[in-house]
């Protein structure tokens, strides 16, 4: 672990272990066949199920820099204790289990555990067996932790011991928790433009964390499949194409309470002026909030071209002006308040429900999220010193009088 604390009540290392577990699971699923499913905290830290039903159990150890595994390392034997239980339960030599130990530490070259590293040469007939090496190591142990594990191990016959040990692979030097994001970005996101990879990874990890939480809480009893990860990564990447933009504020709510009766903003006052109901005004406030924050997020990620938002707003204002002229065409100086409100409501209804059908009014061709367009109209209606769009035919006159400005 990094930076040990002296606080006896600190849960930092345990918390880091859980985060490491989720991150390493994502990395592994990106590297395995897409029909592989993964479970967290089921039979081990991670369970991998392949398309033929083969099951691999993985224990994860995020260790201090420089840590090494030796013959009697507790990390190894505690994992063995878990695996022995599953091995015996699943029929021993007839089971389809494999066991993996992922550790950020390294296996000591003098330890028999080096025989469990991947790509080790097949043992010759003259070579000491894994069973003999494990028995010799356990015979030297005086650890109270290892003693019951040794007892459970010795309940196996020698052939079963050998079979059990041959199913174990130790993957030492595994990536540390802080290295995993860069590994994913650089090895598994090469088809994505480099300037977008960090933001896409953040969204990917957010989705992944939610999927893990659903599984751990029982809301999702099935495994998480590699093809789901691939599909989600592809979907996120599509949002960063030249004709698209990522939508990240769908369903988001402002931190403050929404008060449709006293909200002082100009776009809200405009809606009250034409008699829009409180529920619809609340929806308008949400659209404004989501569109405004979405634009800010796009700007932070440098996704918008210079002048793109201004050009988009000009398109909206121009289309609004054309439809306004049609709706207000039959109004005159003698038109009553009811007729004025009705005309304003007609214009607003068009902006809210009809403009989404007009592809030329999207900020980009594939950005069809309704709050982007609706909220943009509200942003225009909130512009100062004078709104760029309005709904009530006399709103500008009344605003000028309220501000003491002669129209």
**Is 1's pLDDT higher than 60?**
no
pLDDT at residue number 406: 47
**Is 9's pLDDT higher than 60?**
no
**Using CA atoms, how far apart are residues 162 and 11, in angstroms rounded to an integer?**
38
Q: What is the mean pLDDT of residues 236-263?
A: 95
Block residue for tokens 């006399």? 394
**Is 2's pLDDT higher than 70?**
no
**Is 5's pLDDT higher than 70?**
no
Tokens of 213: 């939480």
**Is 180's pLDDT higher than 50?**
yes
**Is 52's pLDDT higher than 50?**
yes
Q: Give per-residue pLDDT as tens, 211-246.
A: 999 999 999 999 999 999 999 999 999 999 999 999
**Is 17's pLDDT higher than 90?**
no
**Is 387's pLDDT higher than 50?**
yes
Block residue for tokens 């041959």? 166
**Is 8's pLDDT higher than 80?**
no
pLDDT at residue number 126: 58
Neighbour-count burial for 297-307, b at 16+ CB within 10 Å, e otherwise: bbeebebeeee
The rounded radius of gyration (Å) of the Cα atoms in the chain is 32
pLDDT at residue number 403: 60
**Is 20's pLDDT higher than 90?**
yes
Q: Give per-residue pLDDT as tens, 76-110.
A: 999 999 999 999 999 999 999 999 999 999 999 99
pLDDT at residue number 284: 98
Q: Could you tell me the strand order of the sheet in which 224-225 lies?
A: 168-171, 97-103, 55-61, 46-49, 37-40, 224-225
Block residue for tokens 């207000």? 328
**Is 11's pLDDT higher than 60?**
no
**Is 28's pLDDT higher than 50?**
yes
Q: Give per-residue pLDDT as tens, 307-354.
A: 999 999 999 999 999 999 999 999 998 899 999 999 999 999 999 999
pLDDT at residue number 42: 95
Average pLDDT value over all residues in the chain: 93
pLDDT band for position 125 (cuts 50, 70, 90): low
Residue 207: left (phi > 0), alpha (psi -120 to 50), or beta?
alpha
Give percent above pLDDT 90 in the chain.
Answer: 89
pLDDT band for position 167 (cuts 50, 70, 90): very high
Q: What is the mean pLDDT of residues 170-186?
A: 96
**Is 45's pLDDT higher than 50?**
yes
pLDDT at residue number 249: 97
* Longest CA span, the chain: 109
């Amino acid at each position: 672990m990094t930076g040990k604390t002296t606080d006896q009540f600190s849960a930092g290392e345990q918390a880091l272990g859980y985060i490491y577990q989720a991150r390493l699971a994502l990395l592994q699923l990106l590297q395995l066949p897409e029909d592989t499913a993964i479970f967290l905290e089921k039979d081990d830290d991670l369970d991998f199920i392949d398309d033929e039903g083969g099951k691999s159990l993985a224990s994860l150890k995020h260790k201090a820099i420089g840590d090494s595994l030796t013959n009697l390392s507790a990390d190894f034997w505690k994992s063995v204790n878990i695996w022995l239980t599953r091995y015996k339960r699943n029929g021993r030599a007839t089971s389809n289990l494999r066991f993996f130990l992922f550790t950020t530490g390294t296996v000591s070259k003098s330890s028999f555990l080096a025989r469990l590293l991947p790509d080790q040469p097949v043992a010759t007939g003259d070579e000491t067996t894994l069973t003999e090496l494990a028995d010799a190591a356990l015979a030297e142990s005086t650890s109270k932790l290892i003693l019951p594990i040794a007892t459970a191990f010795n309940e196996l016959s020698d052939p079963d011991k050998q079979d059990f040990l041959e199913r174990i692979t130790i993957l030492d030097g595994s990536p540390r928790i802080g290295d995993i994001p860069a590994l994913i970005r650089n090895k598994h996101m090469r088809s994505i433009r480099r300037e977008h990879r960090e933001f896409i990874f953040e969204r990917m990890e957010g989705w992944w964390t939610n999927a893990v939480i659903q599984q751990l809480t029982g809301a999702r009893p099935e495994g998480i499949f590699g093809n789901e990860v691939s599909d989600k990564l592809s979907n996120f990447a599509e949002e960063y194409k030249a004709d698209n933009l990522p939508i990240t504020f769908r369903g988001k709510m402002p931190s403050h309470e929404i008060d449709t009766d006293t909200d002082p903003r100009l776009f809200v006052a405009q809606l009250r002026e034409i008699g829009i109901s409180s529920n619809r005004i609340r929806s308008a406030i949400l659209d404004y909030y989501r569109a405004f924050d979405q634009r800010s997020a796009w700007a932070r990620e440098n996704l918008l071209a210079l002048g793109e938002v201004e050009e988009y707003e000009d398109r909206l204002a121009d289309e609004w002006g054309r439809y306004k002229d049609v709706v207000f065409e039959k109004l005159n100086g003698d038109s009553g308040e009811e007729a004025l409100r009705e005309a304003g409501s007609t214009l607003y209804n068009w902006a809210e429900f009809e403009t989404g059908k007009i592809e030329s009014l999207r900020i980009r061709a594939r950005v069809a999220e309704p709050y982007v367009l609706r909220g943009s109209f509200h942003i225009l209606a909130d512009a100062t010193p004078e709104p760029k769009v309005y709904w009530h035919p006399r709103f500008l006159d009344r605003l000028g009088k309220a501000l003491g400005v002669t129209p």
